[in-house]
Chain A
Amino acid sequence: MTIDRTDARAFASESDMLASKRRRNRFRHDAIQVAIIAAAVALVALFAYAVKEGLARHGIQFSFSFLWDAAGFDISEGKTLVFDNGLWPSLTSFTADRTIAQAFVTGIVNTIKVAVLAIILSTVLGTLLGVGRLSTNWVVRNLSFWCVEFVRNTPLLIQLVFWYFAVVLHFPPLAAAAKFYGVVISQQGLYFPSPVWHGGSSPFAVAMAVACCAAILGLILNGRAKIRWICAGAAVVLLGVMLATGTLGLDYPVTSRFQASGGTSMSPEMAALLLAIVVNSASYIAEIVRGSIDALPKGQWEAAASLGLSRRNTVNDIILPQVFRVVLPSFGNQYISLTKNTALGIAIGYPELFNIYGTIANQTGHSLEGIVIVMVSYLVLSWVISGLVAWADRRLTKRGAAR
C-alpha cells in the first residue's frame, strides 16, 4: 500500500493515477496468486515424490492393482456388489473368494447401514430428549438433563466399549434367549421376523401390495391430517388382509445350536455400535433442539397459551415446526460427525470401512493406497449428507415461505 502511494506521485491526473494503481495492484495480486499456486503444486509434487521414494526404499510399489486380487479372508457380516449376472449389480454376502475391491465395498455398505439407521433413530430420540429437557415434569426434565450431560461429557469410545462388552455381550446366550413374538434377543445377535411374499404373481395379491405401499407412502408424504388417517387405516386393513390370506407371511427366526436362521438379524457388534452412536448423537441433537427452542421468542408460547392451546399442542404444532427449520444445518453437521464416528466400530470388531481397511492393509501390505480409498469414501459420504441436508433445507424454507 505504502509503495503504491510514493510511486503514484509521478502521475499528473488523478484518474491516470487510480487506473495505474489498480493495474499495479492487480498485477501484484496475480503474481502472488501464481506464486501461491506454484508453491502448492510444488508441495503436492514433493509430497508425492517423497512418498514414492519412501516406499521405494522399502521395496513397495504404489499401485492399486491389488484391488482385483482375491481377498482370501472372510468378513463376519455384510453385503457387497456383485456383477455375476451381466452388468446389473446385485447385493450378495461377501465371501473369501471375492476381490479386495469388493471387500472395500462391503465396508462402505456396512458403514452406510449403521449411519442411516443411526441418523433416523438419533433424530427421533434426540428430539424427544430435547423436548424432555423442557418438560413440566421435574423428574423427566432432570433425567433428560443428566443423561445428556453424562453422554456429552464422556468419550464416545468408552461408551461404545461399555455398550458392547458390558451390555450387549451380557445378553442371554442363544439357548436361553429372550423371545418376544418372534424377536430373539441374544448375545449372538438380535433376530426379527421378516415379511415373506407368498403371493407369487397373482394380480390380486400384487394389486393389494401396491395399494398398501401407496397408502404407506401417502401416510409419510401427505401433510393433511385427514388424508393421513385414511392412508393409515387403509394400510392396516390391507396388511391385515394379506397376512390373513397368507399372501404375506412372516419368516420367524429359528434358533439352532450356534446361530439362528431365518428372519432378519442384527449382529451384536452392529447393535452396540448403533446404540452407542444413537445415544451419543441424540444427546447432541437434544442440545441443538433445546437451544433453538430456547431461542424462540417467548411471545410464541404466550400467544399459543392465550389462544388456549395445550402445552403439548403448542410444542407439536407451533414450536417444533419452527425449530426444525432452524436446526436443519446443525443437524446436518451432527449427521456428518455421526457418520465419521462409525469408524470407531474397529474397537469392537464391527466390519465397517475403517476396520476392513485394517484387515486389507495387513493382509496385503498396501496401507497407503487403502488410506486414499478410505479417505475418498468418507469425503464422498460427507458431501452426500451435506448435499441432502442442503436440499431438504431449501425445500423446507420454500414451503415455509409459500405458506
Chain B
Amino acid sequence: MIATALKWSRHNLFGKPFDALLSIIVIPGVLWLIYQSLDWALTKAQWDIIPQSLRVLMIGIFPADQAWRAWTAVIIIAALLGAGLGCVFAFRSRHAGFLALVWAAAAVLTGTSDLINLLFMAAAVAVFAGGWAVTSYIPASRRALMAASFIGLIAIFAVMSPPGVGLWGGLLLSILLTLVTAIVSLPIGILLAFGRRSRFSSVRIICTAYIEVMRSVPLILVVYWIWILMPVLAPQWNLADVARGMIGFTLFYSAYVAEYVRSGLQAVPRGQTEAARSLGMSEFDINRSIVLPQAIRVVVPPLVGNVLDIFNTAPLVFIIGLTDFLRAGQMILANPQYGDRTYEVYSFLFLTYFLVGSLITYVARKLEAHLARGSR
C-alpha cells in the first residue's frame, strides 16, 4: 500500500527535478488552502442564512402563495431537458436510481420539510425521467422536440404570468432566460447562417453586418439598448423588463448561433448538395433535409456550450433591474444585518453556478464524444 503510494508519487510528483521543484512549491500551498477553506466551511461559516433565504434565491420576490406556478414551470423545464437528453443518450433503468438519489440529495441539502415542496420536487424528477425515456425509446418523438419546446415556453409564460412578469426572479429567472434565449435564437441563428451564404449579395451583406456588429459589442450594451429602445419604438406594447431582457439576449446570441451553424454548414461536403441537385431537388429541400441535419449534428456540442455561455451571462440583467440568481444573493447581503455573511452567500452562489455549468459542460463533452463515435 505505502509502497504503491511511494511509487506513484515518485512517478507523478517527483519524476523529474523540475516536477519535484513544482511539487515542493505547489503542494503545501494547495494543502494550506484546502485546510483553510474546510476550517472555515465546517467551523466558522454560519450556513443558516442559506435555508432561510432559499426562497428568495430560487424565485426572487415571486409571491409565496403562488409557488405552485413556479413549480409547474420547473416541471415543464424538467420535461424539456429530459426530452432533449433522450435524443442523444438512451435511458437505462440504472438512471432511474440515480435520479432518485438526486432527488433525495436535493431534499436533504435544501433542508425542506414541506411535504408539498418535496412532492413537487419528486414530480419534477419523475417528469425529467419520463421525458428522457420517451425520446430515447420512441425516435419519432424527437422530431416534435422543437415544436414541443416552443409549446413548453408558451405554457411556462401562461402559468407564470398572472402574478406579474415583473415578479420573476432568482435562479428560476436565470434558467428561464437561458432556456428562452437558447430555444428562440436557434431558428433565427439558422436563418442568419443561411442568409450569410445566400445567392443574393444584399442578403449576404445584411446578415454578415448583423452578425459582425452583434459580435463586436458587449452583451450588456445590447440588453440595455433594447431595454430603453423598445418602449420608444413601440409604446403601445408595454413589454415587461423580463421580455425585453429576453429579446436583447436572443438578438445577441442569434449572431453567435449563426456562426456556429455556419461552421457546421461548411463542414457538409460539397458533393452532398451537388448530388441532391442532380436529383432535381429544390434548393430549399436540399438545405432543409440534406444540409441542415448534417450541419446541426456537427454543431450540437458547441451549441450546448453556447447554452452555458447564455447561463453564465444571465446575471448581466442586473443592468435592467431584474433580480436574477446573483442579484437575489446580493439583495440578501444588502440587508445590513446579513452584511457579514458575504462568503457564505457567495460560496453558495459559486457552487450552484459551478454545478449547473459543469453539468452543461459534461453533457456537451459527452455529446462530442458520442457524435465523434457515431460518425466513424
Chain A contact residues, CB within 8 Å of chain B: 1, 29, 32-33, 36-37, 40, 47, 50-51, 54-55, 57, 135-140, 143, 149-150, 152-158, 161-162, 165-166, 311-312, 336, 340-341, 343-344, 346-347, 354, 367-368, 371, 374-375, 378-379, 381-383
Contacts and interface: CB of A to CB of B under 8 A. Distances in A.
B105 interface: no
24 contacts: A33-B200, A36-B206, A40-B206, A50-B234, A51-B229, A51-B232, A54-B231, A136-B15, A153-B361, A154-B312, A155-B315, A155-B326, A158-B326, A158-B350, A312-B18, A340-B218, A340-B219, A343-B221, A354-B220, A367-B228, A371-B228, A371-B229, A378-B218, A378-B221
B346 A158 contact: yes
Contacts of B224: 371
Q: What 4 pairs between A and B have smallest CB-CB spacing?
A: A153-B357, A54-B232, A382-B216, A138-B12
B350 A139 contact: no
B16 interface: yes
B336 to A, nearest CB: 15
A36 B200 contact: yes
Contacts of A382: 215-217
Contact of B232 (A55, A138, A383): A55
A348 B18 CA distance: 40
A162 B220 CA distance: 19
A333 to B, nearest CB: 9
A30 to B, nearest CB: 10
A346 B319 CA distance: 9
B222 to A, nearest CB: 9
Given A143-B30, A150-B354, A368-B229, 14 more contacts: A137-B22, A139-B26, A143-B26, A153-B308, A154-B312, A154-B353, A158-B326, A158-B353, A166-B342, A340-B218, A346-B220, A378-B218, A379-B213, A379-B216
B157 interface: no
A316 to B, nearest CB: 12
Contacts of B234: 50
Given A51-B233, A136-B16, A150-B354, A155 B203 contact: no
A157 B202 contact: no
- Most A-side CB within 10 Å, residue of B16, B217, B228: B217
Q: B interface, how many residues as a size bin?
A: 35 or more
Given A137-B22, A162-B346, A37 B229 contact: no
A158 B308 contact: no
B346 A140 contact: no
Interface of B: 12-13, 15-16, 18-19, 22-23, 26-27, 30, 199-203, 206, 213, 215-221, 224-225, 228-229, 231-235, 282, 308, 311-316, 318-319, 326, 330, 342-343, 346, 349-350, 353-354, 357-358, 360-361
A162 B350 CA distance: 10
A221 B195 CA distance: 44
Interface of A is mostly: helix
Contacts of B319: 346
Contacts of B218: 340-341, 343, 354, 378
B208 to A, nearest CB: 13
A138 B220 contact: no
Among B30, B224, B308, which residue has the most Cβ atoms of chain A within 10 A?
B224
B235 A57 contact: yes
A374 B222 CA distance: 11
A161 B343 CA distance: 12
B200 A155 contact: no
Contacts of A33: 200-202
B27, B215, B216, B219: residue with the most chain A Cβ atoms closer than 10 Å:
B216
A79 B80 CA distance: 52
Nearest to B283: A1
B342 A165 contact: yes
B358 A139 contact: no
A371 B227 CA distance: 12
A379 B221 CA distance: 12
A396 B15 CA distance: 36
Contacts of B232: 50-51, 54-55, 368
A39 B221 CA distance: 27
A134 to B, nearest CB: 13
A153 B358 contact: yes
A143 B326 CA distance: 26
A379 B228 CA distance: 20
Contacts of B15: 136-137
A157 B316 contact: yes
A14 B318 CA distance: 66
